[in-house]
Amino acid sequence: MKDLKLASNGRGRRTVVHVGDVNFGEGFCVIAGPCSVENERQTLETATAVKKAGADMLRGGAFKPRSSPYSFQGLGLEGLKILDLARKETGLPVVTEVIDPRDVSWVAEFADVLQIGTRNMQNFALLKEVGRVDTPVLLKRGMYSTLEEWLNCAEYILSEGNPNVILCERGIRTFERYTRNTLDLSAVPAMRELTHLPVVVDPTHSTGRISLVGPMSLAALTAGADGIMVEVHCRPQEALCDADQALTPEQFGQMMSKIRPLQHFLAAVPETLRPT
């Protein structure tokens, strides 16, 4: 791929993005939390539960890019404050989506990682704006974007001066209706070839099915992903969005009880025998 001066050239080293004590690019980072920040109690409860189950980072949406203008748009600044509170209470760093370039400096004030959603992957004004702050960026792949387009968007961010980009594969659109999107796991090893940036996987939004989150998370780990981002809600039936995709804290705990042992097993396997 031509002209990816910054995204491709890692000078032989893989980039490690440091977020507090969490290092994307080392080990396997688990991000978990509700789709949106609905109220203080819901967020704090879920945050505490995911921390207990071993998550490294909290996710939660304050600004929601809903397909319909009449759907819940998020709590905005109030949501950011709740995330800040959850961070203080649990010690978990926070990732949240930013939609409007005017919000970038403010979201960066309250969150540790700025998420660029799949629908905003090619929002060049937004990419430039997040490129101008130091805060790490989680760049989701566009749902109909090629790997080259995705990397060029990372290039936008890097060229503005922000080297801290984490890529996130979240499924691409295909003709299949059973799953919400089609999780393109091949993107994980492919990106390892093409770039030095860490790559994580979102098994929730890609599959859209609770039963598939576990197997795809384990697969992501084995494929060499640097982490996963999973939706967890303390009471999914009450969630304001993605109610049928979110895991309960118990389900998340069960999944983690398989992931960590697999992670340690793979780390102990001699390098020549490892899958990636």
Q: Which residues bind other proteins (CB under 8 A)?
A: 76-78, 100, 102-103, 105-106, 108-110
Rounded Cα–Cα distance for residues 31 and 93 (Å) = 9
Task: Return the number of the residue (73 or 222) whose C-beta is nearest other proteins.
Answer: 73
In terms of CB distance, is 52 or 102 closer to other proteins? 102
Return the bridge partners of 228, or none. 30, 201
End-to-end CA distance of the chain: 22
CB of 51 to other proteins, least distance (A): 23
Beta-carbon contacts of 58 under 8 Å, excluding residues fewer than 6 positions away, are: 31, 32, 33, 47, 50, 51, 83, 86, 87, 90, 92, 93, 94, 95
As beta bridge partners, residue 42 has: none
Q: How far is the CB of 116 from other proteins (least distance, A)?
A: 18
Nearer to other proteins, 105 or 276 (CB): 105
Query: From the CB of 105, what's the least distance to other proteins, in Å?
Result: 5
From CA 28, how far away is CA 8, in angstroms rounded?
Answer: 22
Nearer to other proteins, 16 or 77 (CB): 77
Q: Report how far residue 51's alpha carbon sits from residue 58's, in angstroms, rounded to the nearest whole number.
A: 8
Shortest distance, position 72 Cβ to other proteins, whole Å: 17
Which CB sits closer to other proteins, 45 or 100?
A: 100
Least Å from the CB of residue 133 to other proteins: 8
